[in-house]
Amino acid sequence: MDLHIAHLYPDLMNIYGDRGNVIALSQRARWRGIEAEVRPYSVGQWADPDWPDVWFFGGGQDQGQDIVGADLAGKNGAGLRRSVEGGAAIFSVCGGYQLLGHEYVPEVGPAIPGVGILDVTTRAGKKRFVGNLLADSTDGQLIGFENHSGRTFLGTSAKALGTVVVGNGNNGEDKTEGAIQGKVIGCYLHGSCLPKNPWIADQLLIWALARRHGDVKVDPLDDRDELAAREQAIGVARARP
Amino acid sequence: MPDALALVATAAGKLTLEGLRLAGRGGTALPGLIALTLDPDFISALAGGLPHGVVCVSGTNGKTTTARMLSDILRSSGWEAIHNRSGSNLDRGVASALLADATWSAEPRGNVGLFEIDEASLPGVVGRLRPRVVVVTNLFRDQMDRYFELDALAKRIGEALAGLPRETTLILNSDDPLVASLALRRDAKTIYFGVDDPSVGGVVPQAISDATRCPRCSSPLHYDRVILAHVGEWSCSNCGLTRPARDVAAAKIVLGPSGSEIVLAGTVGGIFEPLRVPIPGLYNAYNALAAVAAAGALGIGLAEATRALVNFRPAFGRHETVQVKGRTLRLVLVKNPAGFNAAIGALLETGRNPRILAALNDRDADGRDVSWIWDADFEALAPSVEHAVITGVRSRDLALRFKYAGLAEDRMEVVDSSGAAIDRAVALAPEGCEVAVVATYTAMLELRAALARAGMVSPFWED
Ligand SMILES: [Zn+2]
């Protein structure tokens, strides 16, 4: 069995250690004997938008985000939408999460359109949310570190990924963190997210493998180190929000 | 002559300093903070009285080592530097250094100021110091929970430098496009330093790069040679912006386990003898180039500067070595991916399989966001690690990083307390071996405190 992982704009959207999510996806596949290949997809002509089983889309600096937004406004945004309709999964963090929504409304000037894959909208906020982020979810607690000034609000088609316990999450108002819609996930969890929240990584693997390999079971891994790191980080988040 | 307010601020600051000394405390920032509160112009008032002027050393990595190298050069040339040595490098640290070396009548006792300035503080403080020379070593992503984004920071630094008087000389790293472009807005004197040796670096871009876009036109940058992250031989094929000509260049570098030898070239002139840098690592070679270039801007010759560096001793956690029970602990401070990658590079350059004691904390001085470890190139390190003992407030994150980089479980272990971690790392290393202690700032302080309790090193502030 093999797995195709696409890293979206790794040259422009790669801050706060988000690369760890790609490392986690590919290692957790390899540890189960699944061959994983990672390919970069950046600005300009994409070799084959139908190749990826799962896309990773991280956060970036302002300059990077502007260039990427412009690139996704064209053919590549359409390619990404078609890929998701064809069964690919996406995991996105921070800037990538915002760009997958309907639009980003800056403090001044016109709204910047997003790809529209997630039913969320983001508005610029004045105060930056920086700190540990802990959220409850039905499948377990989520832990990470947030660093964003955008306020993201969910529409009716997107469900919250979790409920904020420590930190601000989507917008600092409604206690929601992240969004999930079909096989697409967005969140504000840097850290990196997937190594310390391995059930999300495994869910993404199952979704991704299903595109070309049908329903597959993934073998459980020994996650004691992952859970120990999560427990330690949760302890810090509770003590020093 | 200092004004009345500066006199009052000096007196209050010096009293605080004396009080802390009597209490046996090595506080480095409080006296400066008090003086600045009483007189916001305190720094300009005192720095203005320095006959040889002020040198500011800034950048993400290497500023402490570069400033310390320059301090050695100045001393051997007979100058007396007022230097904010103890690592407190915000503006209150500068004020504290000025206080410690000022008379009670607010006149400086040294004749040149040498100030290490945090890159995020540089835009705010540089105008008040009116420096004769500003050195910028490099700009990398660092503690982004505080500094946020690098592009914006580079822009702020460029604007602050553009506002300095024309007499100020900039010493800039030609190989770092973000740093080299700091002079874009300015027509003043600039001395560029860089590494020309074609055997240093490769053509494959490293995993993490902070500046893949042209600082002038935002087109993708082209690299003929990548040395570290976005540092290398760069050019923009769209607008033609390119790596500037080097005034102080390393034509050849020989890297060794305890230091490097550099053959110098460039417009500042060559010397017959190579520049010997007695601490290992390519990044320390860069620091030496920066220090020699800054000395040149102050009128100190290459030969003199080179001689002064032969006996250089590293600062706290910058390859400082400590002997413990017949083993050598080499203390290497890390705080961001580029610094970590440079440290890994220095470990692997020795050709040995490193034994590591690694410590990760997430307190304010470390950076509260530990995400950066996923940007660091643990994948390059893991295959050669003999053994890793892991400790710190976020030891489990660090262990997980090693695991995902492919380090086998039987080659690493987590030990909670600093003292026990040192004991374990020492016990695992055969006598005569070296253990690389790689730690973030407060984690290193804790490890050093444990060594001090065991009588192995003196307490930090006596450094
Ligand atoms: Zn250009």
The pLDDT value recorded for residue B4 is: 77
| Nearest CB neighbour to B362, from listed A19, A231, A236 | A236
Q: CATH number of the domain at A147, please.
A: 3.40.50.880
Same fold, B4-308 and B318-453: no
The Cα–Cα gap between B255 and B259 comes to 6
Q: Which residue has the tokens 């209490």?
A: B23
Q: What is the pTM of this model?
A: 0.79
**B413 contacts chain A (CB < 8 A):** no
A interface test, pick of B397, B414, B415 with most A CB neighbours within 10 Å: B397
Parallel, antiparallel or unpaired: strands A35-41 and A89-93: unpaired
User: What H or E segment, with its residue span, contains residue B258?
Assistant: none
| A229 neighbourhood in chain B, CB within 8 Å | 396-397, 399-400
Q: Which residue of B has its CA nearest to A191?
A: B371
Which CATH code fits B318-453? 3.90.190.20
Question: How far away, in angstroms, is A67 Cα from ligand 1 center?
Answer: 15
Provide the token pair at B45: 């008032």
Domain that holds residue A152: 2-239
User: pLDDT means per 10 residues in chain A (241 residues)?
Assistant: 96 87 98 96 92 95 83 95 97 96 89 94 94 94 95 97 97 97 97 96 97 93 96 96 83
Q: What is the DSSP letter of A127?
A: E
| Nearest CB neighbour to B141, from listed A12, A15, A225 | A15
CA A31-A33-A34 angle, 5° bins? 100
Count the domains in chain A: 1
Q: Is B413 exposed, middle or buried (0-12, 13-18, 19+ CB in 10 A)?
A: middle
- How far apart, in Å, are the Cα atoms of A80 and each of A41, A113, A184, B174? 11, 15, 12, 39
The pLDDT value recorded for residue B462 is: 41
Domain spans in chain B, listed from the N-terminal domain onward: 4-308, 318-453
The Cα–Cα gap between B229 and B207 comes to 7
B366 assigned to active site:
no
Give A228→chain B minimum CA distance, Å: 6
B interface test, pick of A11, A13, A22 with most B CB neighbours within 10 Å: A11
Show the low-confidence residues of chain B (pLDDT under 70).
Answer: 1-2, 22-28, 85-90, 143-148, 203-211, 269-270, 458-463
As a three-state string, the secondary structure of B342-406 is HHHHHHHHCCCCCEEEEECCCCCCCCCCHHHHHCCCHHHHHHHCCEEEEECCCHHHHHHHHHHCC
**Does the bond joining A192 to the residue before it have cis omega, within 30 degrees of 0?**
yes
The pLDDT value recorded for residue B207 is: 53
Question: 3-state DSSP call for residue B449?
Answer: helix
Query: Hey, are the CB atoms on A195 and B148 less than 8 Å from each other?
Result: no
Q: How many Å is the maximal CA-CA distance in chain B?
A: 67
**What pLDDT, in 10s, does the model give residues A133-161?**
999 998 889 999 999 999 999 999 999 99
Q: Which residue of A has its CA nearest to B221?
A: A11
Q: Which residue of B has its CA nearest to A23?
A: B404
The Cα–Cα gap between B454 and B346 comes to 28
Provide the token pair at B391: 């400790």
Catalytic residue among B369, B375, B423, B463: B369
Catalytic residue among A4, A7, A148, A190: A190
Question: How far away, in angstroms, is B217 Cα from ligand 1 center?
Answer: 4
How many Cα atoms sit within 13 Å of B456 on the Cβ side? 21
**What pLDDT, in 10s, does the model give residues A14-46?**
888 899 999 999 999 999 999 999 999 999 989
What interface predicted TM-score (ipTM) does this complex get? 0.96
The pLDDT value recorded for residue B91 is: 75
Q: Which residue of B has its CA nearest to A147?
A: B145
Question: How far away, in angstroms, is B243 Cα from ligand 1 center?
Answer: 11
Q: Which residue has the tokens 């100020």?
A: B168
Question: How far away, in angstroms, is B242 Cα from ligand 1 center?
Answer: 8
The pLDDT value recorded for residue B83 is: 83
| A44 neighbourhood in chain B, CB within 8 Å | none
Which CATH code fits B4-308? 3.40.1190.10
First to last CA, chain B: 33
Give A156→chain B minimum CA distance, Å: 32
Catalytic residue among A94, A148, A187, A193: A94
